[in-house]
Amino acid sequence: MPSSSDSDPLLARADGDGMTEEDDGIDVAAVDHRGRPAPRASTGRWRSALFIIAVEIAERFSFYGVSANLISYLTGPLGESNAKAAAAINAWNGVAQLLPLLGAALADSCLGRYRTILIASLLYILGLGMLALSTLLSPGNHKCSNTDGGTPCPPPSGLQMAAFYTSLYLVALAQGGHKPCVQAFGADQFDASHPREAVSRSSFFNWWYFGICAGTAVTLVFLSYIQDNIGWGLGFGIPCVVMLCALAVFLLGARTYRYYASDGKQRSLFARAGEAFGAWRSRRRKSSPLAVSDSHEGRRPATQAPEYSAQVDEEEQGVVIRNADLVEEVKGVLRLFPIWATCLIYAVAFSQSSTFFTKQAATLDRHVGKRVQVPPAALQSFISITIVVFMPIYDRAIVPLARRCTGVSSGITMLQRIGVGMVLSLVSMVVAALVETRRLRIAADAGLADLPRVPVPMSLWWMVPQYVLFGAADVFTMVGLQEFFYDQVPDKLRSIGLALYLSIFGIGSFISSGLVSGIDKWTSERGPSWFSNNLNRGHLDYFYWLIAALSALELVVYVFFAVTFKYKKKAAAAAVG
């Protein structure tokens, strides 16, 4: 069993592609699974990272197996409206993406990343199992729907709703512990201080995202078909089995991992803040007039005064040192806030791909040939397919070419990479608005405005470009954000850094939920809602134009802060813009 405090390490010094002189000996900062100094030749590097990548692929398979087609389940067997379902999904996603802050704090303060991953995996298995069992309480069938094609659904029971949402938020809690620790634990297997390993670590983030997107592509095609055509119980049960297998794989790699023992100082930002505050309160009590009066009443010998004074001085010095360290860490986190804030609208746009994009696709002609009908949620696989295709091109072609032009080891800086993705996201929302305008016009011309259960005579391929653009945007922005928040936080807070990256999408989901609920209420009072259950009478195009306008405004503000940002490490610093 590894040390319980394996957080905040110096990264392992190993090249994943063969042995070097630096592979000899031990890494004094790391320990192996027995708690002894970790041999460089048999621990860490790509061999260990591949176990961890496999676990993350399984986790993403399971998470997207629940979330990708969730709007179909909510508007189907659970009988919710489009707007209510979208708002509920965004709220759940928001919680799921904010809980990593708690998971990271627990990992950094007491549990360590390894144990946090184990506990989160067990919670995942429990939550997914409960979710699958909750579908057995449904009085309807998997093909019913209250918003588009299929027979109307009977109202769900209160027991089913309670079981469903309990298990759903248990999955969110599990993801909160799993997500910030697995990626940081994988990146910890590489040495950021070594020039060659710094490049390898950057590639790790690329291939990490490549792997999870490959798993997600399979999920979206395979599980969405099962959920739409066979049953929701099986569709939610398969992710449970996958997570069980993932836990076994993670344990198989335990002998190869590098763990980092705590020296008593590597606690989370929150724990150190509490310690500093407690020490400050203690100092105030000892230096107060009441404390002095009490000491006189006890007739303490005068000879003890110098000893007491020296003790107070020593404690005060310790408090000053702890507070100074805490201030520097807080500053290190707060300096990232402008970048964090200016990426929130990107997260709002991102959340549409699993909600309203899916409902749009459900209204189209989704036949490929005469017999095959594509599940609406399966179109999200084009995001993952784009990433799988484009990521190797970016890593092996674009980065080396850009490196020769810019002199930056990663080709372009992290902030430049994020900015390119934000531009592509903006273009994607514009394309989505134009496609929805066309869909509404075709529905009206075909006389289908009041016939939502009849497919609009428009091919599903019209929606593919907006998914592809989202996938290309993710290659730049998602991976760029992961690397940025891992690299630019203080070294002791890397789990917190990745949790901050995830919190962008949590807050973005809450913003999206608030926008949907507010706009739905405002437009319903003045006519058909933009998110009407009959999308042929709604105006998703207006909503997409609104997000595009907000994205453009966000991009302008982001460029200002990106140009003025100073990187933590001089070796990574480069002109931005």
Region class of 411: left (phi > 0), else alpha (psi between -120 and 50), else beta: left
Q: Which domain holds residue 102?
A: 34-139+157-261
**pLDDT above 80 for 178:** yes
Q: Chain-centre distance of CA 311, in angstroms? A: 47
Residues 508 and 394 in one domain: yes
pLDDT tens profile 461-487: 999 999 999 989 988 998 889 888 878
Residues 255 and 336 in one domain: no
Distance CA 514, CA 199 (A): 41
Mean pLDDT of 277-283: 51
Tokens standing for 36? Answer: 């002894």
Distance CA 179, CA 185 (A): 10
**pLDDT above 60 for 570:** no
Query: In the block, which residue shows the tokens 């000899």?
Result: 24
pLDDT category, 358, cuts 50, 70, 90?
confident
Amino acid identity for residue 434 in this structure: L
Choice among 217-226, 289-298, 319-328, 543-552 with the minimum mean pLDDT: 289-298
In a domain, 289, yes or no: no
pLDDT tens profile 2-58: 443 343 333 333 344 444 444 445 554 566 666 666 666 666 677 778 888 888 888
Residues 254 and 334 in one domain: no
Among residues 476, 477, 473, 493, which one has the least CA distance to residue 568? 493
Check residue 354 and give its pLDDT. Answer: 79
> Which one has a higher pLDDT value, 208 or 364?
364
- If one counts every other C-beta atom within 10 angstroms of the C-beta of residue 359, the result is 22
Domain count, the chain: 2
Mean pLDDT of 165-184: 87
Tokens standing for 500? Answer: 């901050």
Distance CA 261, CA 569 (A): 25
Strands 364-365 and 367-368, by their bridges, are: unpaired
Distance CA 439, CA 442 (A): 5
Strands 367-368 and 372-373, by their bridges, are: antiparallel
Distance CA 121, CA 254 (A): 15
In a domain, 303, yes or no: no
> Which one has a higher pLDDT value, 294 or 122?
122
Across all residues in the chain, what is the average pLDDT?
77
User: What is the three-class DSSP state of 176?
Assistant: helix
Greatest mean pLDDT among 24-33, 201-210, 325-334, 339-348: 339-348
Tokens standing for 46? Answer: 């790509």
pLDDT tens profile 199-238: 666 677 777 777 777 777 777 778 888 888 888 888 889 9
Distance CA 60, CA 276 (A): 38
Q: Between vectors from CA 182 to CA 250 and to CA 195, what angle results, nearest 5°? A: 110
Choose the final residue of a domain: 261, 280, 309.
261
Check residue 314 and give its pLDDT. Answer: 55
pLDDT category, 321, cuts 50, 70, 90?
low
Q: What percent of the chain has pLDDT over 90?
A: 20
**pLDDT above 60 for 413:** yes
Distance CA 472, CA 389 (A): 10
**pLDDT above 90 for 421:** yes
Check residue 278 and give its pLDDT. Answer: 53
Choose the final residue of a domain: 211, 239, 261.
261
Amino acid identity for residue 306 in this structure: P
In a domain, 15, yes or no: no
Mean pLDDT of 133-160: 65
**pLDDT above 50 for 574:** no
Check residue 555 and give its pLDDT. Answer: 95
Check residue 576 and give its pLDDT. Answer: 38
**pLDDT above 90 for 342:** yes
Mean pLDDT of 61-68: 86
Which CATH number characterizes residue 469's domain?
1.20.1250.20
Check residue 244 and give its pLDDT. Answer: 92
In a domain, 23, yes or no: no
pLDDT tens profile 506-562: 888 889 888 988 998 899 888 788 988 888 888 899 999 999 999 999 999 999 999
Residues for the chain: how many in total? 577
In a domain, 504, yes or no: yes
| Helices 381-393 + 464-487 axis angle, to 10 | 60
Residues 198 and 335 in one domain: no
Among residues 516, 42, 483, 471, which one has the least CA distance to residue 220? 471
Distance CA 313, CA 309 (A): 6
Q: Is 547 in contact with 352 (CB distance < 8 Å)?
A: yes
Q: Which residues of 307-331 are buried (b: 16+ CB within 10 A; e: fewer)?
A: eeeeeeeeeeeebeebbeebeebee
User: What is the three-class DSSP state of 300?
Assistant: coil
Residues 436 and 526 in one domain: yes
Residues 257 and 378 in one domain: no
In a domain, 118, yes or no: yes
pLDDT category, 187, cuts 50, 70, 90?
confident
In a domain, 350, yes or no: yes
Choose the final residue of a domain: 210, 240, 261.
261
Check residue 104 and give its pLDDT. Answer: 78
Among residues 560, 100, 500, which one has the least CA distance to residue 340? 500
Q: What percent of the chain has pLDDT over 70?
A: 72
Residues 340 and 238 in one domain: no
**pLDDT above 80 for 440:** yes
Check residue 166 and give its pLDDT. Answer: 92
Residues 367 and 252 in one domain: no
In a domain, 152, yes or no: no
Mean pLDDT of 378-394: 84
Distance CA 176, CA 104 (A): 8
Round to the nearest angstrom and report the end-to-end CA distance of the chain. Answer: 47
Check residue 200 and give its pLDDT. Answer: 67
Residues 121 and 40 in one domain: yes
Q: Virtual CA dihedral for 187, 191, 196, 199, nearest 10 degrees?
A: 30
- If one counts every other C-beta atom within 10 angstroms of the C-beta of residue 84, the result is 18
